[in-house]
Amino acid sequence: MKRKLDAYKIAVMAMLIALMVVLSQVFGFETQLLKITFSFVPEVVMATLFGPFWTGVGAVIADVIGNTLLAKSPFFIGFTFNAFLGGLIYGFFFYKKEITLKNSFLCVLVNTVVFSFCLTPLWLSLMYGMDLTNPGLWTTRLIKAVIMIPLETMIIYIVGRALPYQRLAKKLHSN
């Protein structure tokens, strides 16, 4: 099934991408080992409206624009891959599905395991020559996970229940 993007859909995606860039690069907290942002909020909205593939594409565009215009660290293609994969994961959990506490938690848990504990440490190791047994790498990730898993879960659930996704999706796909 082919889904075309018309001007209206592209404009909606562009606004969500811009919001992702701002929340990630301007309002995000980043060190060499850790990045905390709330760019997942517009990404969840995008996933709900556009599905896994287009959310992955939108996340890649946000990553490239953010790193081109407002980079806080060197560009690394592994993080762009993370962005695409993250969009796929959000789309898998939220496209054409009700946002429940359970699927919000499972989505955040999958993202945390895949990115915080698998791919990102690998990319940091490749970028900076860090030893994967470095306790500083894992301590910060564990602390972040303990704080962010419940926080992200609740934010996704609250936003998911507050926004009229079905009405937005119906309007978006009727154009």
| pLDDT tens readout for residues 154-174 | 999 999 888 877 677 777 766
Surface-to-core class of residue 55, CB atoms within 10 Å of its CB (0-12 exposed, 13-18 middle, 19+ buried)? buried
Nearest to 107 by CA among 120, 117, 92, 96: 92
Task: Look at residue 162 in the predicted model and tell me its pLDDT.
Answer: 87
Distance (Å) of CA 163 to CA 49, 99, 172? 11, 10, 14
**Whether the Cβ atoms of residue 44 and residue 91 lie closer than 8 Å to each other:** no
pTM: 0.88
Q: List Cα–Cα distances, 86 to 51, 79, 133, in angstroms.
A: 12, 10, 25
pLDDT of residue 5: 76
Q: What is the pLDDT of residue 1?
A: 41
Query: What is the predicted pLDDT for the residue at 157?
Result: 96
pLDDT of residue 70: 86
Averaged over successive runs of 10 residues, the pLDDT of the chain (175 residues) comes to 74 95 86 81 94 96 93 88 97 93 97 94 90 86 92 94 76 68
Q: Angle between the 101-111 and 135-162 helix axes, to the nearest 10 degrees?
A: 150
Q: Which pLDDT does position 36 carry in this prediction?
A: 83
Identify the pLDDT of residue 28.
80
